[in-house]
Amino acid sequence: MLRRRLALTVLATGLATAAGVIVTVALAFTRFEHESAWQRADAFVERIATLHPELLEQQRRNPEELAAFLRNLVLYDPDNRLYLLDGAGTVLVSTGERALPPGFRVAIQPVREAAARAAAGERASFVMGDDPEHMSADAVVAARVLSRAVIRPDNEPAGYLYVVCSKPALPPGRLQLLGMSLASAAVLPVLAVVLLASAIAAWVIVTVTRPLRVLSDEVARVAAGGFGAAAPLPAPADGNDDEIGRLRAGFHALVATLRRQWDELKRLDGFRRESVSNLSHDLRSPLTATAACLETLQGRWAGDAARAEDAKLLAVAQRNTHNAARLVRALGDLAQLDEPSFALHTVKVDLAELLDDITQRFQPRAAQQGVRLSFTQRGEAAPVAEVDVELFERALANILDNAFKATPAGRAVSIEAGRGEAVVRVTVADEGAGIAPEALPHLFDRHYQARSSVAPASSEEGKGLGLAIVQRIAELHRGRVAVASTPGQGTTVTLELPSS
């Protein structure tokens, strides 16, 4: 693609340059012709005005004889046409072939400019004026001021001797000769130059783009294999120190640095997941044993008035132990979900039936808290998707757990499911206190907890891993989760999964 663009650029530049040269040569040749014609016409009119200054008097005495005399003058210079003008530009005598109407005038300003330049001795440029034979086209003109013998002369010219120079046409023989010259002497050298320039341009394009092709292949190889690819990039063999060579060397250095950092990140991430998994596994047994001991003590002290204060402290310790056990279990589950080797065990299910079953299982808790729990299917199409049933139920349990914690007695929690365009949407909406807008972007951060104040250690609230687990489960199913909330009105969590 780059080579094609470069070739087109070179071709367009060559064509534009050739067109510019042709136009420049044509304009220069035209100007040369005009200058040559003006030089001849100016010399011609100078001779006539010098030898025959009494032309106006002759025209006044015998116009026909003067017209014949002027025609005789131009017999030996057929490219020029002579006109005798009065001071206003009216044609008095014409040597042209076309009969001009009485009172015919030419533009007087070019006539005066040509005469003024001749009087001042300026020979630098030609003057374009009217051609009475062809008034639609400008012609090269020359002029001289003519005077008339009067008793009281004024400053205005009495008349002008006006010459119009026409461009001679090439005869058929010369046109044929010109064509042959162009065909034999011009076309072949031009073709040779074009071929040579094309060959040089092709060599330049290939030379410039070959290193870029190699670099683009290396970029594609890194993009396809990632930074974890074991095979290193080949070292530059040509040793070029130009811009492309330095770019390739810089790319190799960048890839090497990124691979080192990637390996270090993989090592640290593996260490983190292994540590969390081991910590979670090691803490489960003592926490379970501690919870069992606390439950035993609670059973022994039940109904003992002397142990009433101890029983309160025991309840706090038991609640904190259960919270710690849930947190340790969540940490272990999240570490397991983060494992690159973790695989889903998906089946195609009707989520409406699954969600109805989950709703029935959560009804006792809803009744215990005085919260109304309901499930509704939107639309007639069944919301069918391929899911890992155990993980899906875990995600819904976490969402519902948060909804029950935020919803006071007498309010409602609703579950809805519907099929959209290529997705299945499951929403859980509560009528709780809602979440502050500044907390929404952080809800899926691990260990973040949206609440207005830090709860005491005895709180039964979660520790911020619930939605993180939900998000990870959604990602494993190639879906997404989103939260919308209005403070004082409630929160809606939407889970989108690909439909089947």
Short-list 162, 159, 173, CA closest to 131:
162
Blockwise average pLDDT, block size 10, the chain, 500 residues: 69 72 74 82 86 86 87 80 88 86 89 86 78 78 81 70 74 53 56 74 77 80 72 60 78 84 81 72 79 83 81 84 77 76 89 93 94 93 92 92 92 93 93 89 71 38 71 92 92 92
Residues 284 and 369 in one domain: no
Pairing status of strand 423-430 against strand 490-498: antiparallel
Strands (E), 168-217: none
Same domain, 267 and 347: no
Regarding whether 356 and 310 lie in a shared domain, the answer is no
Q: Please check whether residues 371 and 291 belong to one and the same domain.
A: no
Measured distance CA(131)–CA(243) in Å, rounded: 62
Helical (H) or strand (E) element with 273: helix 243-301
- What pLDDT shows up at residue 313? 85
Do the domain assignments include residue 195?
A: no
Residues 327 and 417 in one domain: no
Please tell me the total count of domains within the chain.
3
Q: 224 in a domain, yes or no?
A: no
- pLDDT computed for residue 383 by the predictor: 92
Domain hosting residue 450, numbered range:
343-498
Q: So what's the pLDDT on residue 42?
A: 85
> Do both 22 and 157 map to the same domain?
yes
Element (H, E) at 420: none
Whether residue 69 is found in the same domain as residue 157: yes
pTM of the prediction? Answer: 0.49
Q: Where are the beta strands (DSSP E) in 150-278?
A: 159-165
Let me know: does 288 contact 329? Beta carbons within 8 Å.
no
- 3-state secondary structure (DSSP) of residue 454: coil
Residues β-bridged to residue 373: 413
Q: Are residues 395 and 440 in the same domain?
A: yes
